[in-house]
Amino acid sequence: MLDSQQINCASINSLKITFKIFLKIIKHISMTFLHVRNFLPIGLLIIFWHGNVSGETAYVTDKMRVGIYASQDLNSKILKILTTGDKLEIVRETELMSLVIDDSGVQGWIDKNYLMKNKPAAMLLKDLSEKNNQNVLQQNATNVPKEDHATTDDVNTKTSDLKKNNTRLKTKLAQVLPRVKQCESRASILEKKNERLSEELEIKCASADITPEDTVPLLDYQKLEKRLTDLKSSIDDQVIKKQPISDDNSNPVSIIKHYWLWVLASMAALIVFGAVIGAYLLDYSNRRRHGGFRI
């Protein structure tokens, strides 16, 4: 019995040891997998980048850089760096070198192998591109769409209509001008009458005894007269400013409007002035009848 129990205990211990070893192996495998998973994107990126670089196509550049040397020795001082297409003037040539001057006036030696009489391909391509662009622009300018022609016809039609309207307005202006002149003559007559009444009023005021209270209507009259003068000068200035320079630039409606404004303003001022003078004369005559008392 003791031997069987010892055997069972030994087998159980061996199973425990085996299970612990198995757990350690699984743990080690899982840790290794975690490390590999962290570095996996970097590895894939390196592989992908390497594949792209190896699949690209490259060309030799056409932008050459050549130095102008101070002497025929290529180890001498470099005076200037030239690029493809720079224009040079050859002064003197030797077996291997050429003495040249560039557009900026720098003079020096350059290897003859880098010089050519014809333009380089890059410059020829640039000239052809510019010429092609100019041809395209000229072709677009000559091929005017039909819509532009239609627009031109519309403009011509509108211009013709405007000329007809201008002629019609000139005819109406010729018909209205006599009435305007008649109104001007009436305004002139009223103005002369106003001046005559003003003179009579001044004479009567000078011959009569007027108290300070009686000077109020006279002051009102003087204010109205000043306003009338200012209004007339303002209207004259506006008429001069609005006067057309030529027949083509004239606006008949504007001319008629300013004439009527002047006439109406003059008539309104004269009516107000006449009312004030009439009220004053009526008051003056009443006071004379009643011994200087206002009733």
Provide the residue range defining the domain that includes 120.
65-138
3-state helix, strand, coil in the chain (%, to 5): 70, 10, 20
145 found inside a domain: no
For the segment 105-131, what is each residue's pLDDT rounded down to a tens digit?
A: 899 999 888 888 877 777 777 888 888
Does a structural domain hold residue 143? no
Q: Give per-residue pLDDT as tens, 219-270.
A: 455 666 666 677 667 666 655 554 444 444 445 556 666 667 777 888 888 8
Q: Are residues 158 and 249 in the same domain?
A: yes
Who has greater pLDDT, 23 or 46? 23
pLDDT digits (tens, 9 = 90+) for 168-208: 888 888 887 888 788 788 878 888 877 887 777 777 666 65
Continuous segment of H or E residues that includes residue 80: strand 78-83
Residues 53, 69, single domain; the answer is no
Residue 279, C-beta contacts closer than 8 angstroms, at least 6 positions apart: 217
Residue that terminates a domain, selected from 11, 26, 58: 58
| Residues 106 and 17 reside in one and the same domain | no
Residues 54 and 71 in one domain: no
For position 248, what pLDDT does the model report? 43
Residues 155 and 103 placed together within one structural domain of the fold: no
User: 281 with 217, same domain?
Assistant: yes
How far is residue 161 CA from its own chain's centroid? 32
Last residue of a domain, one of 11, 39, 58: 58
Question: In this structure, what CATH number is given to the domain that contains residue 103?
Answer: 2.30.30.40
Tokens 């010892």 correspond to: 6
pTM of model > 0.75: no
Q: Considering the chain, what is the average pLDDT of its residues?
A: 71
**Same domain, yes or no, for 218 and 279?**
yes
Co-location of 204 and 93 in the same domain: no
Q: Do the domain assignments include residue 161?
A: yes
Domain boundary among 138, 165, 200: 138
Q: Are residues 160 and 271 in the same domain?
A: yes
**Domain co-membership, 189 together with 281:** yes
Residue 127 lies in a domain: yes
* CA angle (29, 30, 31) in 5-degree steps: 90
Q: Please indicate, yes or no, whether residues 88 and 155 belong to a single structural domain of this protein.
A: no
Helical pair 146-207 and 252-289, crossing angle rounded to 10 deg: 20
In a domain, 294, yes or no: no
Which secondary structure element, helix H or strand E, spans residue 176, and what is its range?
helix 146-207
How far apart are the C-alpha atoms of 164 and 276, rounded to whole Å? 50
Write phi, then psi, for 187 (nearest 5 degrees).
-60, -40
CA dihedral 225, 227, 230, 233 (to 10 degrees): -70
Residue 211 lies in a domain: yes
Question: Are residues 182 and 237 both part of a single domain?
Answer: yes
- pLDDT at 211 (0 to 100): 46
Does some domain include residue 295? no
Closest CA to 111 of 158, 78, 140, 135: 78
**Structural domain tally of the chain?**
3
